[in-house]
Amino acid sequence: MALAALVLVVATVLAMWPHRPLPLRLAPGAAVVDVDIAPGMAAGAIAQALHDAGVEVPVAVLQLWLRWSGRARELKAGAYEIAPGTTPAQLLDKLVRGEQALRRVTLVEGWTVRDVVRTLRRAEDLVDDLPPGDDPVTLAHVLGLPSGHAEGWFFPDTYIYPKRGRASAVLRQASAAMQERLAAAWAQRAPDLPLRSPDEALILASLVEKETGHDADRALIAGVFVNRLRIGMRLQTDPSVIYGLGEAFDGNLRRRDLIADTPYNTYTRAGLPPTPIAMPGWASLLAAVQPARTPALYFVARGDGTSAFSRTLDEHNRAVRRYQLQR
């Protein structure tokens, strides 16, 4: 009878233990226990990692539980958070489903590489494994981008990454997304487009992105640029000049800046600039490959987010006086 009672007690404890909260040792100021499970870890190594992270259960017990569950081979690598109140059964389900601790970061249309790198370095629980600085050429080399220049090659979107993930992994995901979106846009290009490659479409899209945030004007602005490219007229777009000035730009574009030649000065050089000048979104990509058919060769900002379009220089000068000079 005594043996039977003991067996019953042990069986009851074993049945109840998976559903009782795990004892956790939290680090000072922490609300959860953080644990990293590396790829290829066996049950014993996972049990040790859980114990070392702060699950105050003997390693042998944890290992026995993982193996006894019959799901030890299903456990997935990743970064996990274990909150107070988590039971062994819930922890096992979390590891089997791969419910990692996730974070997110948003890259915004019109941002430059400098903006992107700054944001990633400030992102929550993201490991900065990027090269020092924010040089687009260096970044392209490190990430293995085929363009050789990282500017414009990250698609603006919200990206989800595991806690303690790497910034380079986010950028590779954003680069793959841009290459996919650019290919999709290029496949829909107008038949008579004066662009020779998807790369040139991306450059044009970046100009459109920086010139307007008004969706209805994107295709018209692209149409103006396309008209100018067709006749060999210089694009004369200020955002490209500003990009070429780099950190020397103080927020005030002066006449001397417009006549100082750089590879990005579209007042002194014909054609597209050598690289994109920012990250275009999908709307600007589509506008670049499907520009509006318009007779306009000029446009000027009205001051309310929209643009006024003109066919002739005289019309344009009148629009400049009205909207820019307030005459």
The number of residues in the chain equals 327
| 69 and 162 housed in the same domain | no
- Within-domain flag for 233: yes
Domain count of the fold of the chain: 3
How would residue 14 be classed by pLDDT, with cut points 50, 70 and 90?
Answer: low
HEC secondary structure over 178-245: HHHHHHHHHCCCCCCCCCCCHHHHHHHHHHHHHHCCCHHHHHHHHHHHHHHHHHCCCCCCHHHHHHHH
- Within-domain flag for 5: no
Beta-strand pair 78-82/33-37: antiparallel
Query: CB 112: neighbour CB atoms within 10 A?
Result: 21
Domain boundary among 97, 112, 138: 97
How would residue 15 be classed by pLDDT, with cut points 50, 70 and 90?
Answer: low
Q: Which domain holds residue 22?
A: 16-97
| 208 and 177 housed in the same domain | no
- Within-domain flag for 4: no
Domain boundary among 129, 156, 183: 183
| 240 and 300 housed in the same domain | yes
| 220 and 114 housed in the same domain | no
**Per-residue pLDDT tens digits for 80-125:** 999 999 999 999 999 999 999 999 999 999 999 999 999 999 999 9
| 112 and 136 housed in the same domain | yes
**Helix or strand (DSSP H, E) at 143:** helix 136-143
pLDDT of 11: 41
Q: Is 213 exposed, middle or buried (0-12, 13-18, 19+ CB in 10 A)?
A: middle
Compute the mean pLDDT over every residue in the chain, rounded to the nearest whole number: 91
**Per-residue pLDDT tens digits for 177-203:** 999 999 999 999 999 999 999 999 999
What percent of the chain lies above the pLDDT cut of 90? 79
| 34 and 114 housed in the same domain | no
Q: Please work out, in degrees rounded to the nearest 5, the angle formed at the alpha carbon of residue 32 by the alpha carbons of 29 and 35.
A: 115
Nearest C-alpha neighbor of 90 from the set 152, 13, 43, 21: 21
Q: What is the mean pLDDT of residues 19-30?
A: 90
